[in-house]
Structure 1
Amino acid sequence: MNLNNYVSIMDIEFINTTKNNFLDQEIYPRLNQQEKCFIVTANPEILMKAREDAVYKQTIQSADFVIPDGIGVIMASKYMNTPLQERIPGTEVMMDLLAYANEHRLSCYFLGAKDFVNEKVVLEVEKQFPNIEIAGNQHGYTDVDDPTFVEKVVKSNPDLIFVALGLPRQEQWVEKHIDQFNKGIFMGVGGSFDVLAGEVKRAPKAWIKLNLEWLYRLVKQPLRLKRVFKIFEFMARVILKRI
């Protein structure tokens, strides 16, 4: 690891690059070479959870790449005088990977979310990316750690495994089972399945450009208020240097 290409926040090493360079230089080559890779899309909520839970922190630190998915992470890096180049939204990375998989006829497994959301994701992928092979899919309301189920996923031999179990389950699932696979890009995608399925709409581009996507989501989903408090707590700790 070249530490010059990373920024440390709360003992988590974020890769310091752009989304396009991250994909072109790090992820696509690993896909082409059929290597394994664990990507964590980290926002302030994940950092705060890692701060409070040492086991989860080790899980995040075990990832091959942690990317800054959250404007709070970008703001913190600037305040610490170690600015990250840009925010790398996990939803956009997932969509770019799906486009690449479609172009190269790769296989994908979709794990997590509610049953109807998971099914809608598969239907949407088949519609938008017809060249992708669906290696399999399973909603998150089941025992995803059952050895028989994990063996089934392993045998499907996917090139990409998108895991939408929410934190900390999605990262813990990857860490626990990745060694059983021979290849694959593993990525926790949080609520991205809901976006792809059309259950949740992303903010308009103007909001995203102004780094206000978090506010748009709060307006549309008031129940996220508790999560916003975590962002404020995170920023307070950065400002007060209590990280």
Structure 2
Amino acid sequence: MKGCFKLPVNIPISNPYTTSIMDINFLNKSKQDLLNHHIYPILHNKVKSFIVTANPEIVMRAREDQAYKEAITRADYIIPDGAGIIVASRLLKTPIIERVPGFDLMNDLIAYAEIHSLSCYMLGAKEEVNSKMIGKLKEKHPNLTIAGNHHGYFDMDDRFIVNSVKNAQADLVFVALGFPRQENWITKHYHEFDKGLFMGVGGCFDVLAGEVKRAPDSWIKLNLEWLYRLLKQPFRWKRILKAIEFIIRIQLKRY
């Protein structure tokens, strides 16, 4: 366990069920197992924690950027978010049993927060997207407590943002700054917070706000969400190239 706190008795925040891919230890459990036996107990006992939802692009960035690698490996859980991670685990003959999309995990946590009277802080995206997203959340989850929110256009050392999150005392802090910025921001300031589950969620606020449409379920089930996003957002082609390089390196064992 890498967090800076003493664990309450019987809180299973450390997890032996991992699969190593390019020296990154991915959780190898189902989403429901993760939630029921790890995250929900952590939230219930108000244990501070850090979740990274990693895809091939994040793994490649960690391979090329030692500081970023150190940032993400400080997380309590690294979640296999990306079909390429599942493919790589099978090629390495250490198969991960289930992809855990960050968007789905975030939605489950928001629903849980509403039911159990937990609060959320929503940090990131453009100001208008953040505001629209908050409005959509209130429509879907009328009893959800939003402890605070702020757009993602700020300096990494902006004390107003850090103090805003600290003063909110939120149970869950969703950080939508895109990688590597969101993970770097969390690890840079993590020691300053007394509580909260911190999770980088990339472009999820855009989806929640309705600015970006998520792939249909049929595409998701076939692990083709990446292709759908590429077709809808052709400017992402450079990111797809990194994913392709990732698979080639796995096949050739050039880590």
TM-score band w.r.t. shorter chain? over 0.9
Runs of 4+, deviation exceeding 6 Å: none
What residue in structure 2 maps to residue 217 of structure 1?
229
Q: Which amino acid aligns with 1:226?
A: K
Structure 1 residue 13 corresponds to structure 2 residue 25: yes
Residue 198 of structure 1 aligns to a residue whose secondary structure is coil
2: CA distance between counterparts of 1:24 and 1:60? 23
Please give the residue correspondences for 1:183-194 in structure 2 after superposition, counting only pairs within 5 Å: 183-194=195-206
One of 79, 95, 103 as aligned partner of 2:107: 95
Please give the residue correspondences for 1:1-243 in structure 2 after superposition, counting only pairs within 5 Å: 1=14, 3=16, 5-243=17-255
Q: Deviations over 1:192-226 (max 9, x none)?
A: 11111111111111111111111111111101111
**TM-aligned CA deviation for residue 176 of structure 1:** 1.1
**TM-aligned CA deviation for residue 149 of structure 1:** 2.5
TM-score (norm 1): 0.97
Q: Which amino acid aligns with 2:102?
A: G
**TM-aligned CA deviation for residue 240 of structure 1:** 0.3
Residue 166 of structure 2 aligns to a residue whose secondary structure is helix
Deviation larger for 94-103 or 174-183? 174-183
How many residue pairs get aligned? The number is 242
Q: Deviations over 1:125-156 (max 9, x none)?
A: 11111111111111011225312321121011
**TM-aligned CA deviation for residue 180 of structure 1:** 1.3
2: CA distance between counterparts of 1:26 and 1:139? 30
2: CA distance between counterparts of 1:150 and 1:230? 32
Check conservation: 1:144, 1:150, Cα contact below 8 A.
no
Residue 35 of structure 1 aligns to a residue whose secondary structure is coil
- Alignment RMSD, CA only? 0.9
Residue 136 of structure 2 aligns to a residue whose secondary structure is helix
TM-score (norm 2): 0.93
2: CA distance between counterparts of 1:202 and 1:152? 30
Identical aligned residues as a percent? 58
1: CA distance between counterparts of 2:42 and 2:61? 29
**TM-aligned CA deviation for residue 2 of structure 1:** 5.1
Q: Which amino acid aligns with 1:219?
A: L
